[in-house]
Amino acid sequence: MKPTFSKDATIGDLYRPAMAITGQAEADDYFAALVEFGMSHGQTRERAEEIQRANLGYFAGYYNNETRIRVERLFNCAHPIFGAIAEKAAPTPEEAVAAGMRMATEA
């Protein structure tokens, strides 16, 4: 069953449930609902898919590597800064801080 989200859903409301999904069919339904949520806020389908994949990848970065790898696989997403963990090792805390500092100076 495809979920629905309130118009004022928080980041946690949107992405925390996705971290527990383990099956592809459920992930597909959940992603479709996220895309519809984005489109309800004026995004094109293409832009909503792009944003939702980036957000899922970013949110999964706060979880353990097993969860992050599963989410990346199910939602075909990657962390917007570090890329997919399946491609390489997870960043160390030092690498994460350095990446954040680089991004701050580029803004």
Per-residue pLDDT tens over the stretch 47-87: 999 999 999 999 999 999 899 999 999 999 999 888 887 55
Question: What Rg value do the Cα atoms of the chain yield, rounded?
Answer: 14
Domain containing 28: what range?
A: 11-106
Residue in the structure block whose two tokens are 């790898």: 69
Q: Number of folded domains in the chain?
A: 1
Q: Which residues pair with 67 in a beta bridge?
A: none
Q: Where are the alpha helices (DSSP H) in 1-107?
A: 11-15, 24-40, 45-60, 65-75, 93-106
pTM for the full model? 0.84
Indicate the pLDDT class of residue 107, thresholds 50, 70 and 90. low
The fraction of the chain above a pLDDT of 70, given in percent, is 87
Position 1 in a domain:
no
Pick from 25-29, 56-60, 103-107: least confident = 103-107
Position 5 in a domain:
no
